[in-house]
Amino acid sequence: MKKLLKHIVYTASLLMLATQASAFVSKGFIPANVSQITVIINDQANDGCWTNIGEVKRYAEDKLELVGFKVLRDKYEGSVDDRHFVFNVLVNSKRDAVTCFGDIQFSIVKYIQNTNMGGMFLVGQYGSNFTGSDNANQYTLELMGDFMKEVEDPQW
C-alpha cells in the first residue's frame, strides 16, 4: 500500500509539471531587427518519444515566415551577419514502461564570438515538461503554436 501511495504522489507531481510553461520574447525581436533566422532541431528523445521532427521544423519555419522573418532553410553553418538569429527546438524525452515523459524547450538566440570568447544572446524562450503521453508529437506542435503567439506580439 505504501508503494502504491508513493507511485500516486509521484504521478500527480509529474502531472502538475506537465501544465507548467513559461515564455518570453524580447520586444525588440521583430523582423526589421533580424536579417535571417535559422531553425535548428536538437533531438534528445529516445524510444520513439518524438517522431514528427521534420513537421515541427517546417511548422516553425512557416510560422516565422508568416510573421515576416526571412528564414534561412539551408544547413546552419554559423551566423551570416550580426543580425542572424537561431530558433532552437529541443525535445528531451524517455519512455517508462508505457508512456513518455520529458521536456520541450524553444529558444531564440544570437551566437556571439569575440576573439577569445563565445556566447549566446537570448531574446526568447519557452518550455514545458510533459508526462503520460505516447509521444511528444502533438504537445510539441501545441507548444510551438503558443510560443509563436509570443513571437508575433513580443511583450518583454
| DSSP, res 33 | G
CB 109 within 8 A of CB 88: yes
* Chain Cα centroid distance, residue 124: 10
Cell output for 101: 515523459
Task: State the Cα–Cα distance between residues 125 and 120, nearest whole angstrom.
Answer: 13
* pTM of this structure: 0.84
Domain holding 34: CATH number?
3.30.160
29-85 pLDDT per residue, tens: 999 999 999 999 999 999 999 999 999 999 999 999 999 999 999 888 888 899 999
71-107 pLDDT per residue, tens: 999 888 888 899 999 999 999 999 998 999 999 999 9
Quote the domain boundaries for residue 59: 2-152
CB 63 within 8 A of CB 144: yes
Task: State the Cα–Cα distance between residues 89 and 137, nearest whole angstrom.
Answer: 13
Count of domains forming the chain: 1
